[in-house]
Amino acid sequence: MSAVLGTLLAVAGALVGSLGTHLLQQRAAVRAEARARQELLRQERLAAYSGFAAAVTELKRAVVAGWLRRSDPVALEPALAEADRLGALAETARFRLLLVSGRPEPLADAAFARAGALRGAADRGELAAREREFEESVTAFIADAAARLATSDQPARR
């Protein structure tokens, strides 16, 4: 009888141990999956922030090129077509940024608007001033994005 009782206790102990191990592994797997999702989202945000900054900077370059060619109708038309194409790409990058961030992005909107405002410069001095404003707005956007990415690097508290 004591041999049977000993065997039952051993089997019960093995079952409890197996159950405990399973629960701990399941919990660790859930935490690992949550960390992986968080890292994936951070990578998506990083790609969206940097993609927008690159796209809006290319737009600025094209708008300035068009502005500099405004007195040459032959050179102006392709420059404006390029600026229009890059404007559409920058807007697409802005939409992606909004989808990934899940919130309004006023600094991105300001940078995008400043890129478009370059077209209205009256002379080279005003163009240079508007370019500085654009650079300041992109710098503010990047600083904000970097701060948000740094915050998302912090481990989730439980």
DSSP for 21-69, written as a single string: HHHHHHHHHHHHHHHHHHHHHHHHHHHHHHHHHHHHHHHHHHHHHHHHT
Banded model confidence at residue 158, pLDDT cuts 50, 70, 90: very low
What integer pLDDT is reported at residue 154 of this predicted model?
Answer: 54
What integer pLDDT is reported at residue 157 of this predicted model?
Answer: 45
> Tens digits of per-residue pLDDT, 24-82?
888 887 888 888 889 999 999 999 999 999 999 999 999 999 999 999 999 999 999 99
- What stretch of H or E contains 103? none
What pTM does this model have? 0.80
Banded model confidence at residue 6, pLDDT cuts 50, 70, 90: confident
Contact by Cβ (8 Å): 115, 60: yes
Mean pLDDT, residues 9-33 taken together = 83
Alpha carbon distance 91, 52 (integer Å):
8
Alpha carbon distance 125, 121 (integer Å):
8
Contact by Cβ (8 Å): 110, 137: yes
What integer pLDDT is reported at residue 2 of this predicted model?
Answer: 82
pLDDT at residue 21 is higher than 90: no
Integer angstrom CA distances of residue 22 from 11, 15, 27, 127:
16, 10, 9, 66
> Tens digits of per-residue pLDDT, 109-149?
999 999 999 999 999 999 999 999 999 999 999 999 999 99
